[in-house]
């Protein structure tokens, strides 16, 4: 997927991800904080991406990648971030 890559901090993609983080943090029922960061998508392939990381005080690891590629793509192509966050949060597998 071409959208799964690292983005410059001043890019439109990071702006959308940051806006989604604000919405996700504001709506968190568990006190999870969401931040945009670069992390591994596939370590074995040396493939990194800019995505949303969840900082969960109740998580064993403390943090995890919050989005699957499907939801990541929804945010990057969204014209209405709050509505997109609502859609993502309504998924039965959403942890927060």
Give the pLDDT confidence of 7-60 residue by residue, as tens digits.
Answer: 999 999 999 999 999 999 999 999 999 999 999 999 999 899 999 999 998 878
More confident of the two residues 74 and 95: 74
Contact 63, 56 (CB under 8 A): yes
Mean pLDDT, rounded, for 53-69 = 90
Residue with tokens 């690292």: 6
81-91 burial, b if ≥16 CB within 10 A, otherwise e? Answer: beebbeebbee
Confidence of residue 61 (pLDDT cuts 50, 70, 90): confident
User: Which tokens in the block code for residue 85?
Assistant: 């966050």
pTM of the model: 0.92
The CA distance from 38 to 52, in Å, is 8
The predicted pLDDT at position 2 comes to 86
Q: Give phi and psi for 20, each to the nearest 5.
A: -65, -40
Model confidence at 1, pLDDT cuts 50, 70, 90, reads low
> In this structure, what DSSP letter does residue 8 have?
-
């Amino acid at each position: 997927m071409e959208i799964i890559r690292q983005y410059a901090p001043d890019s439109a993609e990071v702006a959308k991800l940051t806006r989604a983080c604000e919405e996700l943090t504001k709506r968190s029922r568990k006190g999870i904080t969401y931040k945009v960061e670069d992390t591994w998508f596939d370590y074995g392939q040396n493939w990194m991406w800019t995505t949303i990381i969840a900082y969960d005080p109740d998580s064993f690891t403390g943090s995890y990648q919050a989005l699957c590629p499907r939801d990541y793509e929804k945010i990057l192509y969204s014209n209405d971030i709050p509505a997109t966050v609502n859609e993502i949060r309504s998924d039965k597998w959403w942890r927060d």
